[in-house]
Amino acid sequence: MRNFIFTAVLLWLSQPAALGAQTTPAPQIFFQPQALCDEVLRYRMISGKTVVGEMKVNLAHGESGEVIHVVESLSGLFERSTALALRNDSTLQPLSSTTVFSNSNRFHTVRLNYGADVVAGQIHQPVEYGGLQEIQQELAGGSHDFFAVPYLLRAHALAPNQAFIFPIFDFRQKKVDRARAWVAKKETVAAPAGEFACYRVEGFSGELRWIFLLEEKFPHRLVKQIFPALEIELELVEITSGLENETVKAAR
């Protein structure tokens, strides 16, 4: 199972992405960066009814207060680490992104640096997956990093039946694609961390389908993540304050 899932992820990374029809650029979206407060979130990874791994998310503000740092670490069924730097304002524009996928001492590394209208970087991967690739690509205005989507949704004002689109950079095809999302409904979600009233947000990052359950209450934490194609779910286990370094006990 471990090798199957890792292979599926690598096939997704290496396969050509479908080229959608050209559309009118999406309007500027303004985010609420205060939702991304300093904290550590721990999730368990489930396939079927079996716990197969975990994910830890660290959110922290830089000393200057101008940057929000996001670090995701996944272990177990497959391994991935992603470090994002986002501008701490209503744009939440990406500044840099580094992602490493690993399995059996084989590594795939994507390093990106974002400017106002350009992204530059490299993809380091085994020869059979394309070897070293350089990235230097002009960006559409307001483009975001592929792995920032969950945090953009957390910082987005949500309402029932709402739908929205924003551009994301697809490092596989070195082009701007789209994240498409809609608020399907409200529902109560039970997770190891407790019971939460959530918005069920369904959508796609390019071709990758996902379902996110985001808490209605501020700061709108991501309680559950579902990836149907991979048959994987992530459930919130623990919330730790990054400022007080103690477990936050939600009063509900």
Please indicate, yes or no, if residue 8 is contained in any of the structural domains: no
Which pLDDT score, from 0 to 100, does residue 19 have?
37
Please indicate, yes or no, if residue 229 is contained in any of the structural domains: yes
- Per-residue H/E/C for 34-55: HHCCCEEEEEEEEECCEEEEEE
Using one digit for the tens of pLDDT, what is the confidence trace for 31-89? Answer: 999 999 999 999 999 999 899 999 999 999 988 889 999 999 999 988 999 999 999 99
Which pLDDT score, from 0 to 100, does residue 68 have?
97
Which pLDDT score, from 0 to 100, does residue 89 have?
96
**Amino acid letter, 88:** N
* Residue carrying the six token digits 């059996």: 104
Which pLDDT score, from 0 to 100, does residue 8 have?
42
Please indicate, yes or no, if residue 246 is contained in any of the structural domains: no
- Give 89's DSSP letter: S
Please indicate, yes or no, if residue 195 is contained in any of the structural domains: yes
Helices H, strands E: what count in the chain?
Answer: 2, 15
Instruction: Identify the residue with better confidence: 244 or 127.
Output: 127
State whether the Cα torsion 231-176-152-164 is positive or negative: negative
Using one digit for the tens of pLDDT, what is the confidence trace for 91-142? Answer: 999 999 999 998 777 789 999 999 988 999 999 988 887 889 999 999 888 8
Please indicate, yes or no, if residue 248 is contained in any of the structural domains: no
Using one digit for the tens of pLDDT, what is the confidence trace for 157-186? Answer: 999 999 989 899 988 888 899 999 999 999
What is the residue range of 211's domain? 36-241
Which pLDDT score, from 0 to 100, does residue 100 have?
95
Please indicate, yes or no, if residue 11 is contained in any of the structural domains: no
**Domains in the chain: how many in total?**
1
CB count, 10 Å around CB of 226? 18
Which pLDDT score, from 0 to 100, does residue 127 have?
85
Please indicate, yes or no, if residue 121 is contained in any of the structural domains: yes
Please indicate, yes or no, if residue 90 is contained in any of the structural domains: yes
Reported as a pLDDT band with limits 50, 70 and 90, residue 17 is very low
Distance of CA 184 to the CA centre of its chain: 19
Which pLDDT score, from 0 to 100, does residue 83 have?
98
Which pLDDT score, from 0 to 100, does residue 1 have?
44
**Amino acid letter, 34:** Q
